Amino acid sequence: MIVNLSDKDWQEQLPRLPGVYLFRDREGEVLYVGKAVNLRNRVRSYFKETGDSRFSVEFLRKLACSVECVVTANEKEAFLLENEYIKRYRPRYNIRLRDDKTYVSVRIRMSHPYPRLEVVRVRQRERQDLDRRDL
């Protein structure tokens, strides 16, 4: 379902169900992808005066012309779909999940009284900052 943000009743058109939302600009380019337990409440929160205070949200409000809502069966499904859409569309305002530049590493915590083996995901620059006592 695509809702035009210039419609008077756009907020009422949004479902109160879990799912994924995609903010789009005039040309239809995906600006941001998010997930929600309640799509109506989450999308509306971007446009409240006391809503989301992230710096990029101000630009998102100005550029977004429509929001597409994809209803899912539950929150877990929404999480998986959000990740898939971010990888597919590479939206400008999604930074956290857009590029997965993390590496799987094995770490042995030698600093722990009982050293343990852990599988961790770290970014390249974080690999250099790992405690040298931990392998």
What is the block-wise mean pLDDT of the chain (135 residues), using blocks of 10 residues? 95 97 97 97 88 75 96 96 95 70 71 80 55 48
Q: Where are the domains of the chain?
A: 2-89, 101-135
User: Contact, 19 vs 69, CB < 8 A?
Assistant: yes
Is 26 strand, coil or helix? coil
Highest CATH level, class, for 2-89:
alpha beta
**Strands of 25-124, DSSP E:** 30-36, 66-71, 102-108, 117-123
Is the pTM here over 0.85, yes or no? no
